[in-house]
């Protein structure tokens, strides 16, 4: 099962009346622990990566670890950028295989935050995220 988008995951959760755990990850041990626990209860999950964690652990390593977790567990897993602070970061994550992104433009004036959010949403939707 490939990584799934948060949109499809939330739709199923809403229809099924359940919540989805979202956990910040930055290394193999954390990913293994979370996914093994989720497998025990057959729970879908969202693995979140902050910009700092992505820089620390390396995008490619994180992608491969999450892909391995998905193969090993067979669970629906969404890989989410948590609090991306720029269009470039969100774009890079989308282009690199993340299935969900969150833009955080709170450091900008309100109007700039809206413009940035629209830009990210348009790019994400155009790329199936």
Active-site positions read 82
Helix (H/G/I), strand (E/B), else coil: 14: helix
Residue 44 backbone zone (phi > 0: left; psi -120 to 50: alpha; other: beta): beta
């Amino acid at each position: 099962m490939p990584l799934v988008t948060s949109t499809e995951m939330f739709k199923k959760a809403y229809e099924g009346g359940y919540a989805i755990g979202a956990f910040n990850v930055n290394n193999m041990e954390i990913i293994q622990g979370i996914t093994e626990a989720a497998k025990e209860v057959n729970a879908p999950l969202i693995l979140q990566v902050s910009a700092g964690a992505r820089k620390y652990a390396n995008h490619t390593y994180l992608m491969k670890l999450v892909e391995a977790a998905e193969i090993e567990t067979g669970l629906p897993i969404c890989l989410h950028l948590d609090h991306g602070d720029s269009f470039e970061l969100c774009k890079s994550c989308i282009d690199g295989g993340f299935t969900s992104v969150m833009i955080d433009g709170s450091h900008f004036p309100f109007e700039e935050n809206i413009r940035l959010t629209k830009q990210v949403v348009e790019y994400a939707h155009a790329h199936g995220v």
